[in-house]
Amino acid sequence: MLSMTSIAFHFNASDRIAYACRLLRKAASSGAKVLVIGASETLNQLDAALWAFSPADFVPHCLLAGDAMLVAASPVILANSTETSPHQEVLLNLGHPVPNGFEKFERIIEIVTRDNEDRQLARSRWKHYADSGYTMTRHDLSLNVA
């Protein structure tokens, strides 16, 4: 029997891009392969942030449209959709719609900011996943503030 995709929502991120950088650093250091999807503007912001994120912790990443050998070697791949993903391990959704083909991935991570519009869009994705029979894990990032 196939196992069902696990879905985690990380709520109350003060900065989606900065939080994604920390999450991707942790994933890459653990050996996970992550496909990050979102709008081109968001992916460009993330790409720039990953280069400048931490001098001590480079997070290897590339655009899916890049060199095939680089894509094959990169644990983090930035793309506009899941359609031509070279793996189905972890999907980090930085976009607003439910990703097409999400069910092919082992894990999905959704980052939700404190912005009201972002929260409403996340509720819609949560409802879609729940209506499709998925169980979600909720991580409230505001509880992690020291």
Global pTM value: 0.93
pLDDT in tens, 1-39: 346 899 999 999 999 999 999 999 999 999 999 999 999
What is the C-alpha to C-alpha distance for residues 122 and 144, in angstroms, rounded to an integer? 20
Q: At residue 18, what are phi and psi to the nearest 5 degrees?
A: -65, -40
What tokens were used for 111?
A: 């980052």
144 confidence band (pLDDT: 50, 70, 90): low
Q: Tell me, yes or no, whether 1 lies in a domain.
A: no
Q: 83 has which bridge partners?
A: none
Report whether pLDDT(79) > 70.
yes
Q: Tell me, yes or no, whether 112 lies in a domain.
A: yes
Q: Tell me, yes or no, whether 137 lies in a domain.
A: yes
Q: Tell me, yes or no, whether 146 lies in a domain.
A: no
pLDDT in tens, 53-77: 877 878 999 999 888 899 999 999 9
CATH of the domain at 98: 3.40.50.10110
Burial class of residue 121 in the structure, from the number of CB atoms within 10 Å of its CB (0-12 exposed, 13-18 middle, 19+ buried)? middle
pLDDT in tens, 82-107: 988 888 999 999 999 999 999 999 99
List the domain range (segments joined by +) for residue 99.
6-141
Check residue 34 and give its pLDDT. 97
The count of domains in the chain is 1
Report whether pLDDT(47) > 70.
yes
Q: Tell me, yes or no, whether 25 lies in a domain.
A: yes
pLDDT in tens, 114-143: 999 999 999 999 999 999 999 999 999 988
Name the one residue in this structure whose structure tokens are 């503030």: 145
Burial class of residue 72 in the structure, from the number of CB atoms within 10 Å of its CB (0-12 exposed, 13-18 middle, 19+ buried)? exposed
